[in-house]
Chain A
Amino acid sequence: MSDSEGSDSFVEEGSSGVERDAAVSGPSGATVEEQLVDPQFLAELRAQMLKFARLQLRDDDQAEDAVQEALAGALKNIESFARQSALKTWVFSILKFKIADALRYRQRVIASSQLGDEEQREQQFMDALFKTNGHWHRAERPTSWNGPQGGVQSDHFWRVFDACLNGLPEKQARVFMMREFIELESEEICSQLSLSTSNLHVILYRARLRLRECLENSWFETSAARSRGESTA
């Protein structure tokens, strides 16, 4: 679909009356500036732009801002437009840039705020496991899982495993499952999720750290304690 065509016809339809008046701007002597500040023309144009921007952005405030900025941009360069229809096309093309900017900005803000939270959570998790010199905190040092592994096939174990998996951050769980359950190769996961290889390795590392931590705390340690006859309550 051609964008300019779309908005063009959209504009023409909605403003046929104004369009006809504008077409005879010569004799009436109205300049483009005068036309654009004509309240009726401006109101209609603005309404059309708003409708368009709202559809794209689904946010009234952002739509309002984009339209405002697009109109301001158009007014700045008004002398380069001889006809209103050309002007409208141009205003709409500015509006599209503004909308694209807003959408891009929104995506960036979401991405970076999520990243910020995520990195902070990961840092806290790592700090809970490792001392500042990078060695295990004594209480977090992995134990041997050999003892109670006989019970691993039980329904109870798989429920614990489920719970641990559900406790992973969403992306880690997804990547871990693609890699270990569906057994996709690294390259395939990277290309499907647009991740770099080192990205993928970090995500898998984090997922495994969390999973083993959870399994150790919720299953292996409690089983070991049980088998030693200690109270697990």
Chain B
Amino acid sequence: MMNCKQATRLLSEQLERPLHGGEKLQLKLHLLMCRGCRNFGDQMRTLRQLSKGYAKTASEADGKDGAARGSSDLDS
């Protein structure tokens, strides 16, 4: 039985690679029963969205407070 540590690891990893059948099934079962990890999964997607938004804001916000946003690394 998968625990939350393993489930969160897979929830992060599925942003990087497709999970294989066994992993998918076990994760699904775990998520059915675990609201915390369901939320974590949603948060992973949100984090990815936010990061895209951040990169955009950072490049737009240049003069304003771009320094605080580490824009030097992001503008391209």
> Which residues of A come within 8 Å of B, CB atoms?
126, 130, 133-136, 141-146, 149, 152-153, 155, 158-159, 161-162, 165, 176-177, 180-183, 186, 200-201, 204-205, 208-209, 211-212, 215-216
A158 contacts which chain B residues (CB < 8 A)?
A: 54, 57, 69
B12 contacts which chain A residues (CB < 8 A)?
A: 201, 204-205, 208-209
> Which residues of B come within 8 Å of A, CB atoms?
3-6, 8-9, 12-13, 15-17, 35-37, 39-40, 42-44, 46-48, 50-55, 57-58, 65, 68-70, 73-74, 76
B3 contacts which chain A residues (CB < 8 A)?
A: 130, 133-135
Q: How far is the CB of A148 from chain B (nearest CB, A)?
A: 12
**Cα separation A146 to B41 with both chains bound (whole Å):** 13
Given the interface pairs A153-B53, A180-B48, A201-B16, the reply to whether A162 lies near B43 with Cβ below 8 Å is no
B69 touches A162 (CB 8 A): yes
A183 contacts which chain B residues (CB < 8 A)?
A: 52
A145 touches B13 (CB 8 A): no
**Cα separation A126 to B5 with both chains bound (whole Å):** 9
Count how many pairs of residues, one from A and one from B, have CB atoms less than 8 Å apart in the complex. 94
The 11 sampled A-B contact pairs (Cβ below 8 Å) are A141-B35, A141-B36, A142-B36, A142-B37, A158-B54, A159-B68, A180-B52, A181-B51, A181-B58, A204-B16, A212-B43
A143 touches B8 (CB 8 A): no
Selected from B46, B55, B70, the residue in CB contact (under 8 A) with A145 is B46
User: Majority SS of interface residues in chain B?
Assistant: helix
Q: How far is the CB of A144 from chain B (nearest CB, A)?
A: 5
Q: How far is the CB of B38 from chain A (nearest CB, A)?
A: 8
A142 contacts which chain B residues (CB < 8 A)?
A: 36-37, 39-40, 43
**Cα separation A155 to B37 with both chains bound (whole Å):** 29
B43 touches A205 (CB 8 A): no
**Cα separation A163 to B26 with both chains bound (whole Å):** 35
A182 contacts which chain B residues (CB < 8 A)?
A: 55, 73-74, 76
Q: How far is the CB of A151 from chain B (nearest CB, A)?
A: 12
Q: How far is the CB of A189 from chain B (nearest CB, A)?
A: 10
Given the interface pairs A177-B73, A205-B12, the reply to whether A152 lies near B4 with Cβ below 8 Å is no
Selected from A126, A201, A211, A216, the residue in CB contact (under 8 A) with B13 is A201
Of all A-B residue pairs in the complex, the 6 with the closest CB atoms, nearest first, are A134-B3, A141-B36, A180-B51, A134-B5, A142-B39, A205-B12
B53 contacts which chain A residues (CB < 8 A)?
A: 152-153
Q: Which residue of B lies closest to A207 (CB)?
A: B12
B58 contacts which chain A residues (CB < 8 A)?
A: 181
Q: Which residue of A lies closest to B36 (CB)?
A: A141
**Cα separation A23 to B54 with both chains bound (whole Å):** 73
Given the interface pairs A177-B73, A205-B12, the reply to whether A136 lies near B42 with Cβ below 8 Å is no
Q: How far is the CB of A81 from chain B (nearest CB, A)?
A: 55
